[in-house]
């Protein structure tokens, strides 16, 4: 075992952050190893496998070599030091603020997330349903207005508002939630070393009071898709997902399909879907993959849980459509 690994073995939190900075979001093998051995134990195993001290078989040996090639103790030290001088923070499952929805019942739990802003309303124990409001990054004025109004209504009715970014429809939803005295949460694609010095993110939290969360991830970020890394957090956190306006090939359509497969209620704002820029939403409505959402009053239907008659009759049928039409 090398000295660069040994310095992280006495602190499971430090080991977990170092692993996250060397890993891809949603890596099932790393997650399995951490669940079985803890973060420090996983680092120890990876070091031994990579050095040939222990032969764990071809798959684990290859995983260990790749992980240790990316492992950067200097980077991990720098990240941990910088957190002492910023309002942002890194959370792991051991932290009280950690959202229990991310614990991996239906997906691979993240190793660590970075957070800026207040997450106090998000925990499952708070009993507050969260609605994700998604849509185009270049929406029409009417769609932006619809997103602002919907987010304000949701906040006023006691829902938490989640967005899939900070611009376009997401930015409009943030404005609406803040105007109604809420604290919306913007879920961003996985970030690596220094997200807390991102000027756009810093400006958002400073000026609006919104919170931001993203999965802590490896430095290069080239081997995973932005939408997929965002949805890795967004879908477990959301109790329902609503699309306001999106063209036919907008990446958020894939998010809706993933939500359907996960049994999450999905909706589309019909007024936005009637315009050419909302062709993606119209497609979802025509295929029966989403319900019509005109306002906060329509959200209740989307919050039916698996096992209820409403879910069995509609969600299961929608999931079958997705599997049959969009299976890869």
- What's residue 196's pLDDT? 53
Residues 124 and 239 in one domain: yes
Residues 121 and 27 in one domain: no
How many structural domains is the chain composed of? 2
Residues 135 and 43 in one domain: no
Residues 23 and 110 in one domain: no
Residues 118 and 74 in one domain: no
Choosing from 84, 100, 127, the residue where a domain stops is 84
- What's residue 309's pLDDT? 44
List the chain residues with pLDDT less than 70: 1-3, 104-107, 123-127, 191-209, 219-225, 272-273, 304-328
CB–CB of 267/299 below 8 Å? Answer: yes
Residues 79 and 101 in one domain: no
- What's residue 306's pLDDT? 47
Q: Counting beta carbons within 10 angstroms of the beta carbon of residue 321, is it exposed (0 to 12), middle (13 to 18) or buried (19 or more)? A: middle
- What's residue 310's pLDDT? 46
Measured CA distances, 234 to 145, 190, 248 (Å) = 23, 11, 21
CB–CB of 297/236 below 8 Å? Answer: no
Write out the two tokens for 238: 């959301």
Segment holding 214, helix H or strand E: strand 211-215
pLDDT for 172-223, tens place per residue?
999 999 999 999 999 988 764 455 555 455 555 555 668 888 888 775 544 4
Residues 39 and 95 in one domain: no
Residues 28 and 131 in one domain: no
* CATH number of the domain enclosing 141: 3.40.50.450
Residues 36 and 180 in one domain: no
- What's residue 307's pLDDT? 42
Residues 193 and 286 in one domain: yes
Residues 112 and 61 in one domain: no
- What's residue 328's pLDDT? 45
Q: 10 Å Cβ neighbour count for 54?
A: 13
Q: How many residues does the chain have?
A: 328
For 124, the domain range is 91-326
- What's residue 147's pLDDT? 96
- What's residue 273's pLDDT? 65
Q: 10 Å Cβ neighbour count for 137?
A: 16
Choosing from 26, 56, 84, the residue where a domain stops is 84
Choosing from 84, 104, 124, the residue where a domain stops is 84
- What's residue 234's pLDDT? 93
Residues 131 and 240 in one domain: yes
């Amino acid at each position: 075992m090398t000295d660069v690994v040994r310095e992280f073995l006495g602190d499971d939190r430090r080991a977990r952050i170092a692993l996250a900075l060397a890993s891809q979001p949603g890596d099932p093998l790393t997650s399995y190893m951490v669940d079985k051995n803890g973060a420090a134990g996983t680092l120890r195993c990876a070091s031994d496998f990579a050095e040939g001290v222990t032969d764990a078989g071809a798959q684990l040996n290859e995983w260990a070599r790749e992980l240790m090639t990316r492992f950067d103790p200097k980077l991990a030290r720098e990240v941990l030091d910088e957190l002492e001088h910023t309002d942002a923070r890194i959370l792991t499952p051991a932290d009280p603020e950690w959202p229990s929805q991310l614990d991996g019942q239906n997906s691979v739990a993240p190793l660590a997330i970075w957070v800026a802003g207040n997450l106090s309303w998000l925990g499952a124990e708070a009993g507050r349903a969260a609605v994700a409001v998604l849509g185009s990054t270049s929406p029409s004025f009417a769609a932006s207005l619809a997103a602002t109004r919907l987010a304000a209504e949701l906040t006023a009715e006691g829902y938490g508002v989640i967005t899939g970014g900070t611009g376009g429809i997401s930015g409009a939803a943030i404005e609406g939630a803040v105007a109604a005295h809420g604290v919306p949460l913007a879920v961003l694609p996985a970030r690596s070393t220094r997200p807390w010095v991102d000027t756009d993110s810093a400006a958002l939290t400073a000026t609006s009071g919104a919170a931001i969360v993203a999965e802590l991830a490896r430095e290069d970020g080239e081997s995973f898709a932005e939408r997929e890394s965002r949805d890795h957090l967004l879908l477990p956190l959301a109790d329902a997902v609503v699309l306001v306006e999106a063209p036919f090939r907008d990446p958020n359509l894939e998010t809706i399909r993933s939500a359907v497969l996960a049994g999450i209620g999905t909706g589309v704002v019909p007024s936005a879907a009637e315009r050419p820029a909302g062709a993606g939403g119209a497609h979802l409505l025509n295929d029966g993959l989403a319900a019509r959402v005109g306002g906060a009053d329509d959200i209740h239907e989307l919050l039916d849980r698996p096992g209820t008659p409403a879910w069995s009759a509609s969600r299961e049928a929608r999931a079958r459509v997705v599997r049959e039409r969009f299976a890869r």
